[in-house]
Chain A
Amino acid sequence: MAEARRGRRTLVVSTDPAPSLGDALGIPLGNAPRRIPVPRGDLRAVEIDARQAFARWFRTRRPVLETITLRGTWLDRTDVETLFDLSPPGLDEIAALLEVLRYCRAGRYDAIVIDTAPTGHTLRLLAMPETMAGIARAFAAMHARHRMVAEALRGVPLDDDGVIRELERDARAFRDLLRDPVRTHVSLVSLPEPLAVEETLDFARYLHGAGIPLARVIVNRLTAPPPDPCGWCTAKRRAERRAVSRLAAGLRALAAHSGGAVPLVAGVSEREREPAGVAALAGLAPALERALPVRASPAREAPQRGRTARLRRGVPCTPFDASLKLLMFGGKGGVGKTTCAAAAALELARAEPDRRVLLVSVDPAHSLSDALRTRLSDAPRSVPGGPRNLEARELDAPRAFAALGREYAHAVDALFDRIGRGSSFDLSQDRRVFQDLLNLAPPGLDEIAAVLRVIDLLGVGETAPRYDTLIVDTAPTGHALRLLETPATIQLWARALMAIVLKYQPVAGIGELGAALLRLSRSLSRLRKMLVNPGETHFVIVTRLAALPRAETRRLHLRLRRLGVAVPFVIVNAMGAGVCRRCRRTLRAQERESASLAVRRGAAGRPPLIAAPATVPPPAGVDTLVRWRRAWRCFER
């Protein structure tokens, strides 16, 4: 809106698969830019529909890519068409890149504002040019094979590698655009809370490493001074100041290290009503340009004693079912998924000392280490001070995928050895095509790696289970849903490839590759059954009582219901407040909201609510998490 007011034709684009842009503007949006009625200027808004955007791009390129694949591999037309009919995993990031470039080139806009998916998958979007260049390389290798064959036959190779050059060009264009401080401004939006601050600093470090300039960090939902004396608000403000100081110090250190400029740190105060709609949003713009006063040295302050809001309604309860195999936590970014997942893991492991429990984060932007206050990695380890049957881990998807690639590379190599045996047939170019494909970290790699790891850890495949219960901290909404759709997507791929392997069996044999694909397909069948079995899998939605998270929760719940995944209850986090006039208004709003949600649940099939109290600072570390969990209150059925 600020850009539009300056007289620039502005487009705001959401690339999040679970967009909230329409909710924020108070106008339903679709996948075509829609004019937003602003007092001054020209503003349009669009929420990208990845499937449609990709389909539009693919429609015109498909014939050429099919031809290249047809000539560059042994596959025949039926095979190629079968494979090209399947939807690629990780569509969201590909579509985002293509759509952003398309809008940039359209020439209709002077400014394009992009609202991305939460951290983890935006990191993947920023790395998408490398993935796209890899895809271009794989097609180039196929084309090279065709050229080789054509030249060997003294023919003229067909010159239709325009699409390959286009892929390379687009990858480069997006890469350069991101790194151009004149054309691109990157702003990170954070919260004045330790977990969010650490995630933001990790993001800033990534940007620094990738050579992408960071212009600004916006700290959202800062507590304004209370209207009358209030211990709660004062403690909250103090905790927030510490978090902001830590953020500013981290950004300064990074700038000093790189010799670059320190990004602007701006702040937005929490409103009693979440700003939604054009009029409310217009009031926010000035704050985004103003530097937030930051206290220099947070370290000297004495550590703060924790405070937990008291919840007046509801009863203490033990909501988690210890016999589950898979317990997932999901919701909008910043609602406290990780904290809830960690608290649940501690409780479940303690309640059932004979069950082996793994708490695993599959969000590429991990926060589990910070929530448990211990250093975690891809190697599972026990949690200091936690139950002995509990281990925790932060999944490293690229690593898992590289290992998987090596496994399949072996099977593919064996296949080539068998085909090539005793012939003068030169297969080196064919091998190259396959190696390029296997070395490619595909889009959607986080979801694929997570699915395969879950199969492995729970013994859904043919190996023995390593854990009895997995508690999964998922990426925010959009990608949690993608995760749940991934088993079906990769099973279609596995089956298509199996059919192709079978077809060429008389010449190439089946070998390891066929066996591996068969195993994968069977495991995926079992996993898919497990996901929709309410006795084995639960998905807990975490939310806050604010308009945008509430709208997202409703959509998430609907999608989960359609997928057949059980949602036993919804955790409403950060409930309760202090005693000042503003806090009392907040409390009344919470009462109203939770009462209305609780009343409606029965009729509309809504899951029951659990209230988790607000704490200052937010709970972290084993003991604090256990105490916090005991303060949760269930609403009676």
Chain B
Amino acid sequence: MFILDSLLIGGLRFVLDKLATAVDTELNDDSALREQLLAAQMRLELGDVSQQEFDALEADILARLKEIRQRRQGDDAAALSPEDYRITGIDASFEGDEHDTSTGRR
């Protein structure tokens, strides 16, 4: 419905704009990566991904975040690890004990 309405009202242009912005941010902006990380945490909470899959996703995202940071600040950027990384903008923290999957759905 969302897509249909968007096409009808805002026109195809809107969706294309959105996609272009998405691609753009994917490459350059670490906020997109933060969202990916948050999405991964949500999927873990929902039981859509296993802890193992999440760990792999998380490692990948953190590596890419580190890359962006190094590209921006040169090579002296501090090393990132899950223990010290905190998403301030959306205030999602993960400090070891957060990986809580024991109360799965249903």
On A, residues with C-beta under 8 Å from B are 70-71, 73-76, 149, 152-153, 422-426, 462, 491-492, 495, 498-499, 501-502, 504-507, 509-512, 514-515, 517-519, 521-522, 525-526, 528-529
Across the interface, name the chain A residue whose C-beta is closest to B25: A509
Bound-state CA distance A349–B38 (Å) is: 41
Flag if A519 contacts B92 (CB, 8 Å): yes
Bound-state CA distance A501–B103 (Å) is: 21
Task: Decide: A510 near B1, CB < 8 A? Known: A515-B91, A522-B98.
Answer: no
Bound-state CA distance A282–B52 (Å) is: 68
B85 lies within 8 A of chain A by Cβ: no
Prevailing SS type, chain A contact patch: helix
Which residues of B sit under 8 angstroms from A504, Cβ to Cβ? 2
Which residues of B sit under 8 angstroms from A423, Cβ to Cβ? 10, 13-14, 17-18
Task: Decide: A424 near B103, CB < 8 A? Known: A152-B9, A514-B38.
Answer: no
Q: Which of A70, A518, A522 contacts B38 (CB 8 A)?
A: A518
B24 lies within 8 A of chain A by Cβ: no
Across the interface, name the chain B residue whose C-beta is closest to A491: B103
Flag if B5 contacts A515 (CB, 8 Å): no
Q: Which of B1, B6, B13 contacts A70 (CB 8 A)?
A: B1
Name B1-56 residues within 8 Å CB distance of A.
1-3, 5-6, 8-11, 13-15, 17-18, 21-22, 35, 38-39, 41-43, 45-46
Q: Which of A74, A509, A514 contacts B5 (CB 8 A)?
A: A74
Bound-state CA distance A423–B18 (Å) is: 9
Residues 68-100 of chain B: 1 if any A CB is under 8 Å from the residue's CB, otherwise 0? 000000000000000000010011110000101
For the A-B complex with A423-B13, A507-B2, A521-B45 known, give 17 more contacts whose Cβ atoms are closer than 8 Å.
Answer: A73-B1, A74-B1, A149-B8, A152-B9, A423-B18, A425-B6, A425-B9, A498-B46, A501-B42, A502-B42, A507-B3, A507-B6, A512-B90, A515-B91, A518-B38, A528-B103, A529-B102
Bound-state CA distance A426–B90 (Å) is: 26
Flag if A499 contacts B8 (CB, 8 Å): no
Flag if A505 contacts B39 (CB, 8 Å): yes
Bound-state CA distance A67–B92 (Å) is: 35
The interface centre, meaning the residue of A153, A515, A519, A528 with most chain B CB atoms within 10 A of its CB, is: A515
Bound-state CA distance A115–B43 (Å) is: 46
The interface centre, meaning the residue of B6, B18, B90, B91 with most chain A CB atoms within 10 A of its CB, is: B90
Q: Can you list 17 residue pairs at the A/B interface with Cβ under 8 Å?
A: A71-B1, A74-B2, A74-B5, A422-B21, A423-B17, A425-B14, A495-B45, A499-B46, A502-B39, A502-B46, A507-B3, A507-B18, A510-B35, A511-B35, A514-B90, A515-B87, A526-B100
> How many Å from the CB of A516 to the closest CB on chain B?
8
Minimum-distance CB pairs A-B, first 6: A74-B2, A425-B10, A515-B90, A423-B14, A525-B103, A423-B10
> How many Å from the CB of A588 to the closest CB on chain B?
50
Task: Decide: A505 near B35, CB < 8 A? Known: A74-B2, A423-B14.
Answer: yes
> How many Å from the CB of A517 to the closest CB on chain B?
8
Which residues of A sit under 8 angstroms from B10, Cβ to Cβ? 423-425
Q: Report the number of A-B residue pairs with Cβ-Cβ less than 8 Å.
A: 95
Bound-state CA distance A511–B90 (Å) is: 6
> How many Å from the CB of A504 to the closest CB on chain B?
7
Which residues of A sit under 8 angstroms from B18, Cβ to Cβ? 423, 507
Q: Which of A74, A506, A510, A522 contacts B45 (CB 8 A)?
A: A522
The interface centre, meaning the residue of B92, B100, B105 with most chain A CB atoms within 10 A of its CB, is: B92
Which residues of A sit under 8 angstroms from B6, Cβ to Cβ? 425, 507
Flag if B90 contacts A75 (CB, 8 Å): no
Which residues of B sit under 8 angstroms from A425, Cβ to Cβ? 6, 9-10, 14
Flag if A153 contacts B8 (CB, 8 Å): yes
Q: Which of B14, B42, B98 contacts A510 (CB 8 A)?
A: B42
Which residues of B sit under 8 angstroms from A502, Cβ to Cβ? 39, 42-43, 46
Across the interface, name the chain A residue whose C-beta is closest to B98: A522
Flag if B2 contacts A515 (CB, 8 Å): no
Flag if A518 contacts B9 (CB, 8 Å): no
> How many Å from the CB of A485 to the closest CB on chain B?
15
Across the interface, name the chain A residue whose C-beta is closest to B35: A510
The interface centre, meaning the residue of A149, A152, A509, A517 with most chain B CB atoms within 10 A of its CB, is: A509
Flag if B42 contacts A498 (CB, 8 Å): yes
Which residues of B sit under 8 angstroms from A462, Cβ to Cβ? 93
Which residues of B sit under 8 angstroms from A424, Cβ to Cβ? 9-11, 14
Across the interface, name the chain B residue whose C-beta is closest to A77: B1
Which residues of B sit under 8 angstroms from A501, Cβ to Cβ? 42
> How many Å from the CB of A123 to the closest CB on chain B?
33
Across the interface, name the chain A residue whose C-beta is closest to B37: A510
> How many Å from the CB of B34 to the closest CB on chain A?
9
Across the interface, name the chain A residue whose C-beta is closest to B8: A153
Which residues of B sit under 8 angstroms from A495, Cβ to Cβ? 45-46, 105
Across the interface, name the chain B residue whose C-beta is closest to A512: B90
Which residues of A sit under 8 angstroms from B21, Cβ to Cβ? 422
Which residues of B sit under 8 angstroms from A422, Cβ to Cβ? 14, 17, 21
Which residues of B sit under 8 angstroms from A149, Cβ to Cβ? 5, 8-9
Which residues of B sit under 8 angstroms from A74, Cβ to Cβ? 1-2, 5
Across the interface, name the chain A residue whose C-beta is closest to B97: A526
Which residues of A sit under 8 angstroms from B2, Cβ to Cβ? 74-76, 504, 507
Bound-state CA distance A511–B34 (Å) is: 10
Which residues of B sit under 8 angstroms from A514, Cβ to Cβ? 38-39, 42, 90
Bound-state CA distance A352–B8 (Å) is: 66
Bound-state CA distance A76–B2 (Å) is: 8
Which residues of B sit under 8 angstroms from A75, Cβ to Cβ? 1-2
Bound-state CA distance A517–B22 (Å) is: 23
Which residues of A sit under 8 angstroms from B17, Cβ to Cβ? 422-423
> How many Å from the CB of B43 to the closest CB on chain A?
7
Which residues of A sit under 8 angstroms from B39, Cβ to Cβ? 502, 505, 510, 514
Task: Decide: A518 near B42, CB < 8 A? Known: A462-B93, A505-B35.
Answer: yes
> How many Å from the CB of B2 to the closest CB on chain A?
3
Which residues of B sit under 8 angstroms from A529, Cβ to Cβ? 102-103
> How many Å from the CB of B89 to the closest CB on chain A?
8
Bound-state CA distance A25–B58 (Å) is: 62
